[in-house]
Structure 1
Amino acid sequence: MPPRGQSELSGLARVGFVALSRAREDLQQLAEAVESDAATLAPAFAGAADPDAALRHAIDLERAHPGAFASRLDDPVSREQLVRVLGASAGLAEFLVRHPEHLDVFETPDASLPSLAEMRADFADSLRIDARGFAAESGEEAECLLRERYRRQLLRIARFDLAQQHPTDVVEAVAGALADAAAATLDAALAIARTQISTSDFGSPLFARADVERTRIAVIGMGKTGARELNYVSDVDVIYVAEGDGDLAASRAIDVATKLAVTLQRVVDEPAIEPALWEVDPNLRPEGKSGSLVRTLESHVSYYERWAKSWEFQALLKARPIAGDLELGSRYVDAVAPMVWESSSRDNFVESVQAMRERVTANIPADEVHHQIKLGPGGLRDVEFTVQLLQLVHGQADETVRESGTLPALSALAEAGYIGRQEAAEFAEAYRFLRVLEHRLQLTRLRRTHLMPRDEEALRVLARSSAQAKDAATLVTAWERTKHDVRDLHERLFYRPLLSAVAALPEDELALSPEQAKARLAAIGFRDTRGALAHIAALTTGVSRRAAIQRHLLPVMLRWFAEGADPDYGLLAFRRLSDALGSTHWFLRMLRDSSMVAERLTRVLSSSRYVGELLSAFPESAAWLEDDAQLRPVDPATLREEMQAIFGRHESLERATKAVLRVRRREILRLALGAVLDIDGVVELGHALTEITEATLQGVLRQIRATVEGGDQLEFAVIGMGRFGGSELGFGSDTDVIYVFRPTGEDSASAQRIAQTYASELARLTEDPTLPLDLDLDLRPEGKSGPMVRSLESYRTYYERWSLTWEAQALLRARGVAGDENLIADFTAVADAMRYPANISENDVREVKRIKARVESERLPRGADPARHVKLGRGSLSDVEWFVQLIQLQHAAQIPDLRTTSTLTALQVAVEHGLVDEADAEQLHDAWVFSSRVRSAMTLWLNRTRDVLPDERRQLEGIARVLEYPPGSAAQLEEDYFAVTRRARRVFENEFYGRQDRLQTRPF
Structure 2
Amino acid sequence: MSRPTSAPGRLARYGFGTGQGDGGARAADLLGPDGLDLWRLDAQEPVDERAAELLAALSRAADPDLALRQLHRIVEAERRARAGAGSELLDALHADPGLRRRVVAVLGASSALGDHLVANPDQWSVLRTGPDGCAPVADGRLEPAGDGNPVAALRQAYRLALLRIAAADLTGGRALEQTMAALSALADATLAAACELAVGELPEGTPRPRLAVVAMGKCGGDELNYVSDVDVIFVAAEDDDLTAATTVATRLIHICGLVAWPVDAALRPEGKRGPLVRTLASHLAYYRRWARTWEFQALLKARPAAGDLALAQEWIDQLAPLVWRAAERPEAVEDVRAMRRRIIDNIPPKELDREIKRGPGGLRDIEFAVQLLQLVHGRVDESLRVPGTIPALGALVAGGYVGRADGEALLRGYRFLRTVEHRLQLQGLRRTHTVPDEPAGLRWLAAALGYAATPGRSAVEEFRAEWVTHASEVRRLHAKLLYRPLLESVARVPADGLRLTPEAARHRLEILGFGDPAGALRHLEALTGGVSRTAAIQRTLLPVLLSEFADAPEPDRGLLSYRQVSDKLGSTPWYLRLLRDEGPVARRLARVLSSSRYATDLLAREPEALRLLAEESELAPRPREVLHEGFSAAAGRHTDPVEATRAIRALRRRELVRIACADLLCRAGSLAPTPTRPDGAGRRAPGLADVTAVGTALADVTDATLAAALRTARGTQPTVPGLRFAVIGMGRLGGYESNYLSDADVLFVYDAPAGTDERAASAAAHGVAEELRRLLGVPAPDPPLGVDADLRPEGRQGPLARSLAAYAQYYARWSRVWEAQALLRARFVCGDADLGAEFEAMVDPVRYPVDGLTREQIVEIRRIKARVENERLPRGADPATHTKLGRGGLADVEWAVQLLQLRHAGAVPALRGTRTLDALAAARDAGLLDAADADAMAAGWSLAAQVRNALMLVRGRAGDQLPRHGVELAGVVRLLGADDPGEFLDEYLRTARRSRAAMERVFDA
Normalising to structure 1: TM-score of the pair? 0.62
1:579 and 1:366 map into 2 onto residues whose CA distance is 51
How much has 1:224 moved relative to structure 2? 2.1
Q: Aligned runs of 1:756-905 on 2, under 5 Å?
A: 836=848, 838=850, 881=894, 884-885=897-898, 888-889=901-902, 891-896=904-909, 898-904=911-917
Q: Aligned runs of 1:275-314 on 2, under 5 Å?
A: 276-285=259-268, 288-294=271-277, 300-308=279-287, 309-310=290-291, 311-314=294-297
Aligned residue for 1:650? Answer: none
Alpha-carbon contact 1:813-1:901 (below 8 Å) kept: yes
Residue in structure 1 matching 2:448, options 440, 461, 465: 465
How much has 1:403 moved relative to structure 2? 1.8
2:220 aligned with 1:226, yes or no? yes
1:892 partner letter: A
Q: How many residues align?
A: 832
Aligned residue for 1:146? Answer: 157
1:173 partner letter: Q
Aligned residue for 1:268? Answer: 256
How much has 1:685 moved relative to structure 2? 1.5
Residue in structure 2 matching 1:940, options 911, 930, 953: 953
Alpha-carbon contact 2:937-2:995 (below 8 Å) kept: no
Aligned residue for 2:716? Answer: none
2:439 and 2:608 map into 1 onto residues whose CA distance is 53
Aligned residue for 2:411? Answer: 428
How much has 1:893 moved relative to structure 2? 2.8
The change in CA–CA distance for 1:57 and 1:217 in structure 2 (over 3 A counts) is same
String of CA shifts for 1:161-191, please: whole Å, max 9, x gaps.
4x67xxxxx2111111111122223333345
How much has 1:43 moved relative to structure 2? 5.2
Residue in structure 2 matching 1:177, options 170, 179, 182: 182
How much has 1:94 moved relative to structure 2? 1.7
2:446 partner letter: A
Residue in structure 2 matching 1:440, options 408, 419, 423: 423
Alpha-carbon contact 1:268-1:278 (below 8 Å) kept: yes
* Matched position secondary structure for 1:439: helix
2:63 aligned with 1:50, yes or no? yes
Aligned residue for 1:703? Answer: none
How much has 1:267 moved relative to structure 2? 2.9
The change in CA–CA distance for 1:485 and 1:102 in structure 2 (over 3 A counts) is farther
2:325 partner letter: S
Alpha-carbon contact 2:884-2:960 (below 8 Å) kept: no
2:667 and 2:276 map into 1 onto residues whose CA distance is 49
String of CA shifts for 1:653-695, please: whole Å, max 9, x gaps.
xxxxxxxx99999998665445689999999614555798999
Alpha-carbon contact 2:384-2:392 (below 8 Å) kept: yes
How much has 1:282 moved relative to structure 2? 3.3
How much has 1:370 moved relative to structure 2? 4.4
2:39 aligned with 1:35, yes or no? yes
Aligned residue for 2:309? Answer: 329
How much has 1:432 moved relative to structure 2? 1.9
1:948 and 1:157 map into 2 onto residues whose CA distance is 60
Residue in structure 2 matching 1:82, options 103, 110, 113: 103
* Matched position secondary structure for 2:426: helix
Q: Aligned runs of 1:722-761 on 2, under 5 Å?
A: 728=737
2:969 and 2:919 map into 1 onto residues whose CA distance is 34
2:347 aligned with 1:365, yes or no? yes
Aligned residue for 1:188? Answer: 193
Residue in structure 2 matching 1:533, options 500, 518, 521: 521
String of CA shifts for 1:199-227, please: whole Å, max 9, x gaps.
xxxxxxx533x767x66655332322232
Residue in structure 2 matching 1:484, options 454, 458, 475: 475
2:28 partner letter: Q
Alpha-carbon contact 1:898-1:909 (below 8 Å) kept: yes
Residue in structure 2 matching 1:99, options 112, 120, 128: 120
* Matched position secondary structure for 1:374: coil
2:469 partner letter: A
* Matched position secondary structure for 1:100: coil
* Matched position secondary structure for 2:228: coil
The change in CA–CA distance for 1:107 and 1:178 in structure 2 (over 3 A counts) is same
Q: Aligned runs of 1:698-709 on 2, under 5 Å?
A: none
String of CA shifts for 1:595-637, please: whole Å, max 9, x gaps.
xxx9x9998579975999999989999999xxxxxxxx99x9x
How much has 1:502 moved relative to structure 2? 8.8
* Matched position secondary structure for 2:324: helix
Alpha-carbon contact 2:544-2:586 (below 8 Å) kept: no
Q: Aligned runs of 1:369-768 on 2, under 5 Å?
A: 369-467=352-450, 471-491=462-482, 499=490, 512=503, 520=510, 524=513, 526=515, 529-534=517-522, 560-561=551-552, 564=553, 566-571=554-559, 672-673=664-665, 685-689=690-694, 728=737
How much has 1:329 moved relative to structure 2? 0.8
2:30 aligned with 1:22, yes or no? no
Percentage identity across paired residues of the two chains: 31
* Matched position secondary structure for 1:220: strand
How much has 1:111 moved relative to structure 2? 9.9
Aligned residue for 1:235? Answer: 229
The change in CA–CA distance for 1:899 and 1:963 in structure 2 (over 3 A counts) is same
1:374 and 1:601 map into 2 onto residues whose CA distance is 38
Alpha-carbon contact 1:183-1:322 (below 8 Å) kept: yes
Alpha-carbon contact 1:258-1:293 (below 8 Å) kept: yes
Aligned residue for 1:755? Answer: none
2:484 and 2:215 map into 1 onto residues whose CA distance is 28
The change in CA–CA distance for 1:524 and 1:952 in structure 2 (over 3 A counts) is same
Aligned residue for 1:318? Answer: 301
The change in CA–CA distance for 1:580 and 1:51 in structure 2 (over 3 A counts) is farther
The change in CA–CA distance for 1:86 and 1:666 in structure 2 (over 3 A counts) is farther
Alpha-carbon contact 1:615-1:621 (below 8 Å) kept: no
* Matched position secondary structure for 1:158: helix
2:14 and 2:156 map into 1 onto residues whose CA distance is 42
2:188 partner letter: A
Alpha-carbon contact 2:911-2:922 (below 8 Å) kept: yes
How much has 1:231 moved relative to structure 2? 0.9
2:233 and 2:876 map into 1 onto residues whose CA distance is 46
String of CA shifts for 1:65-99, please: whole Å, max 9, x gaps.
46445753576654444333223222222222222
Aligned residue for 1:341? Answer: 321
RMSD (Å) for aligned C-alpha atoms: 7.1
1:250 and 1:662 map into 2 onto residues whose CA distance is 60
Alpha-carbon contact 2:340-2:368 (below 8 Å) kept: no
Aligned residue for 2:720? Answer: none
1:444 partner letter: Q
The change in CA–CA distance for 1:27 and 1:139 in structure 2 (over 3 A counts) is same
How much has 1:307 moved relative to structure 2? 2.2
Aligned residue for 1:158? Answer: 169
Q: Which has the higher helix share?
A: 1
2:614 and 2:439 map into 1 onto residues whose CA distance is 45
The change in CA–CA distance for 1:141 and 1:147 in structure 2 (over 3 A counts) is same
1:623 and 1:17 map into 2 onto residues whose CA distance is 76
The change in CA–CA distance for 1:61 and 1:157 in structure 2 (over 3 A counts) is same
Alpha-carbon contact 1:812-1:835 (below 8 Å) kept: yes
The change in CA–CA distance for 1:493 and 1:500 in structure 2 (over 3 A counts) is farther
* Matched position secondary structure for 1:318: coil
2:465 partner letter: T
